[in-house]
């Protein structure tokens, strides 16, 4: 989709090089493919792209759709604060 392409262009190429990737490694799952066993308990994804943050096997938040590069990083920062050990601790 065009929003997935925008995310790939704006974020996807650098994501693995960021501190955020160390806390929330990126794992791509196709929307219409069979869901991996370890993700079957999370609510379904409706919009693409959707970034789902999982901590200890449970969803703790998601970014549905792509709101643009600045909003993505800001929203991701908020989600990362919900991790068992937030960044900087």
Question: Are the beta carbons of 73 and 15 closer than 8 angstroms?
Answer: no
| pLDDT value, residue 57 | 86
- Cα 35 to Cα 33: distance, rounded to the nearest angstrom: 6
Prediction pTM value? 0.84
For residue 85, name the pLDDT band (cuts at 50, 70, 90). Answer: low
The set of residues, in sequence order, having a beta carbon less than 8 Å from that of 73 and lying 6+ positions away, is 11, 20
Cis? peptide before 13, omega within 30° of 0: no
For residue 86, name the pLDDT band (cuts at 50, 70, 90). Answer: low
């Amino acid at each position: 989709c065009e929003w997935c392409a925008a995310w790939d262009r704006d974020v996807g190429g650098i994501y693995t090089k960021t501190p955020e990737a160390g806390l929330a490694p990126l794992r791509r799952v196709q929307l219409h493919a069979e869901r991996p066993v370890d993700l079957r308990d999370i609510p379904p994804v409706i919009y693409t792209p959707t970034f789902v943050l999982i901590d200890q096997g449970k969803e703790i938040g998601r970014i549905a759709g792509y709101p643009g590069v600045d909003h993505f990083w800001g929203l991701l920062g908020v989600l990362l604060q919900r991790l068992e050990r937030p960044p900087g601790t």
